[in-house]
Amino acid sequence: MGGRNDQSPTWLVDGAVRIRRLTVGAYGNNAYVVACPRTGDALLIDAADEPDRLLAALAGLRCQAIVLTHGHSDHWQALEAVRRAYPQALVGIHPADAGMLPPPPLPHPLADGEPIPIGGLTVTVIHTPGHTPGSVCLAVPGHLFSGDTLFPGGPGATRPPLGDFPQIIASIRERCFTLPDATVVLPGHGESTTVGLERPHLKEWIARGW
């Protein structure tokens, strides 16, 4: 899907979804534009930083929603700028992390299993606590946007007071690894992987404790 200096190439998957990744900010955050090619409706996952680049990636699309995978500030530095550009867009975060955002207004409280319609696509919210209490992943057929829950090589950080290692392991085992092996995992930092590549290493992660 390219690196930080790419021109945000569009990734076409079976003609059913367009996914555009941008790597932004000092922490190398991935922000994703998920668009319905039939209607031009779009979802922004993690308005992390560099709002001009995010808005350029959304140009020509109708941004219907901005969803944050969790409340850590490196994932929402560009939120206000994008929200000003798309005032009609739903802004969603799990209620357990909502207090980590600056007010106002209060965002839409995401619920586990909630469908978010984006044109002809349905993006499904999966609550995956462990990195933070309100961490979520977002699923579209064949793809899992894993935020800081799951990366190539293991789970995200579980530093206290918000992190919980047994909890993130349970989230990965019970929520992420129930998806098909071919599911592409698109994390909040770094490169993509698949469920099938990561699942065999779960016991190793548990044994090492991180």
3 in a structural domain? no
State the DSSP H helix or E strand holding residue 140, giving kind and residue range, or none if neither: strand 136-140
Number of folded domains in the chain? 1
Does position 24 have pLDDT exceeding 70, yes or no? yes
Report d(CA 5, CA 89) in Å as an integer.
28
1 in a structural domain? no
Q: What is the value of pTM for the model shown?
A: 0.94
Does position 2 have pLDDT exceeding 80, yes or no? no
State the DSSP H helix or E strand holding residue 29, giving kind and residue range, or none if neither: strand 29-35
pLDDT at 9: 53
5 in a structural domain? no
Report d(CA 47, CA 103) in Å as an integer.
16
Strand order in the sheet with 10-13: 10-13, 17-24, 29-35, 41-45, 62-67, 90-93, 108-109
Report d(CA 190, CA 83) in Å as an integer.
25
CATH number (domain holding residue 193): 3.60.15.10
pLDDT digit string (tens) for 137-191?
999 999 999 999 999 999 999 999 999 999 999 999 999 999 999 999 999 999 9
pLDDT digit string (tens) for 49-94?
999 999 999 999 999 999 999 999 999 999 999 999 999 999 999 9
* Helix ranges (DSSP H) in 7-156: 51-58, 79-85
Domain housing 94: 10-208
Question: pLDDT class for 45, splitting at 50, 70, 90?
Answer: very high
2 in a structural domain? no
